Structure 1
Amino acid sequence: MSLTRRGLLLGMSALLAGCSTSGPNHRANYASLPDERFPLPAVPLDKIKPELRRQEVAYATKYDPGTIVIDTPERRLYYVLGEGRAMRYGIGVGRNGYALAGSAYVGRKAEWPNWTPTDNMIRRDPDRNLRYAGGLPGGPNNPLGARAVYLYRGGNDTMFRIHGTNQPQSIGQAMSSGCVRMLNHDVVDLYERVTVGGRVIVLQA
């Protein structure tokens, strides 16, 4: 075999091998998480639109590594990795008039957090929310899902969160009370990356 032909075959083999490993490993990203306090089953990929699946992407930005950029109109959250790269997640966002804008920071984080509706949420929908005025413990039926990242400004809780959800069909939609929703598998991944004090930028149209 000539060196030219051998080199061509080796190059094709490397390319084919790379196709199976270099792209986003969506199936592994959404595999079961049995070690969670409330184990999370695998998410079938056909339940997640390809454009909403977690993946590392090219992302040119002026923000430092470790910054969270929430692009509300795009329904995407970017965790800046640096060197022109970011981890991108599909998100659900607030309805018109119920969204944070500008800058904030991570005030605290919680695993399987408790949820208490705000006074405004109770006033808007007492039939649904009044029963939880005393709080709802973390778990599969909790609307905050597996993790919550609490957004602060000037030492004060803004009452906006980045959190998981027990309504995965809401990802990609504008239907929340202002918080940013993520698939539970995605918020678990983000939670491990972010640090308390980390910067958060919320972009609006």
Structure 2
Amino acid sequence: MNRRQMLMAALPLVVAPALAMAQESQPAGQRRDPYAPTEVPIRSDFEVGSIVVVSKDFFLYHVVAPGRAIRYGVAVGKDELVWRGRATIGRKTEWPSWTPTPAMIKRNPGQYARWANGMPGGPTNPLGARALYLYDARGNDTAIRIHGTTEPNSIGRAVSNGCLRMRNEAVMSLFEQVPVGTPVYVY
């Protein structure tokens, strides 16, 4: 056997362990993130452009075509703080300031009282990079927001004070796509 034949014969012994190591070094459970933006079918009776939130499933749907939507993961209000209803986007803000509601301060003064006069927008602000303000049919602010978050691991959980949290990159994308006046349905 010449040198080339010996190398060719040994190649499977070298390559097989390398392939096995490469497979082992990949992150375990390479399943797709269930809360990543994904185009999905949706009931065709929702108007194109509208936003539909299914709180119990932790998903927000932006209807992009008849029967088609981009689905985003969200965090929703905990227990009794889940907000449901119909609203419209009455205002949009980049890097919004934040002021906890009086009810939030009453529920948890240790966490919220120091911000009673507000917190300026920025990377540490709990509203994240963007906020969409929901208004009722009379034009009143509902105090419910669709906003970014400084806690992306909260997506898919019931943890907020009623607002709908999205990952910052997701809310930034949605922010660019929806105008003021967009209808929002929260179930």
Q: Give the TM-score of the pair, scaled to structure 1.
A: 0.74
TM-superposed CA distance for 1:49, in Å, is 6.0
Structure having the higher Rg: 2
In the alignment, is the contact (CA less than 8 A) between 2:47 and 2:66 conserved in 1? no
TM-superposed CA distance for 1:61, in Å, is 3.1
CA separation of 1:152 and 1:59: change in aligned 2, threshold 3 A: same
* Whole-angstrom distance in 1 between the partners of 2:32 and 2:122: 25
Segments of 4+ moved more than 3 angstroms = none
Deviations 1:94-143 (A, max 9, x none): 01111211211101000000000000001111111110011101111100
TM-superposed CA distance for 1:159, in Å, is 0.3
Q: List aligned pairs for 1:112-131, cutoff 5 A.
A: 112-131=95-114
Structure 2 counterpart of 1:103, from 86, 89, 93: 86
Q: Secondary structure of the equivalent of 1:192?
A: helix
Q: Secondary structure of the equivalent of 1:150?
A: strand
Matched, 1:190 2:167: no
Structure 2: give runs of 5+ residues left out of the alignment. Answer: 1-28
Matched, 1:169 2:153: yes
* Whole-angstrom distance in 1 between the partners of 2:109 and 2:141: 23
CA separation of 1:74 and 1:165: change in aligned 2, threshold 3 A: same
* Whole-angstrom distance in 1 between the partners of 2:185 and 2:44: 12
Q: Secondary structure of the equivalent of 1:50?
A: coil
In the alignment, is the contact (CA less than 8 A) between 2:44 and 2:66 conserved in 1? no
Q: List aligned pairs for 1:42-191, cutoff 5 A.
A: 50-153=33-136, 154-191=138-175
* Whole-angstrom distance in 2 between the partners of 1:67 and 1:126: 36
Deviations 1:140-174 (A, max 9, x none): 11000000000001110000000000001100000
* Whole-angstrom distance in 1 between the partners of 2:66 and 2:106: 46
* Whole-angstrom distance in 1 between the partners of 2:65 and 2:45: 10
* Whole-angstrom distance in 2 between the partners of 1:138 and 1:49: 32
Aligned residues: 158
Q: Secondary structure of the equivalent of 1:201?
A: strand
Percent identical among aligned pairs is: 49
* Whole-angstrom distance in 2 between the partners of 1:174 and 1:99: 8
TM-superposed CA distance for 1:82, in Å, is 1.6
Supply the AA of the counterpart residue of 1:123. Answer: K
Structure 1: give runs of 5+ residues left out of the alignment. Answer: 1-45
Instruction: Quote the RMSD (CA, aligned, Å).
Output: 1.6
Equivalent in the alignment of 1:32: none
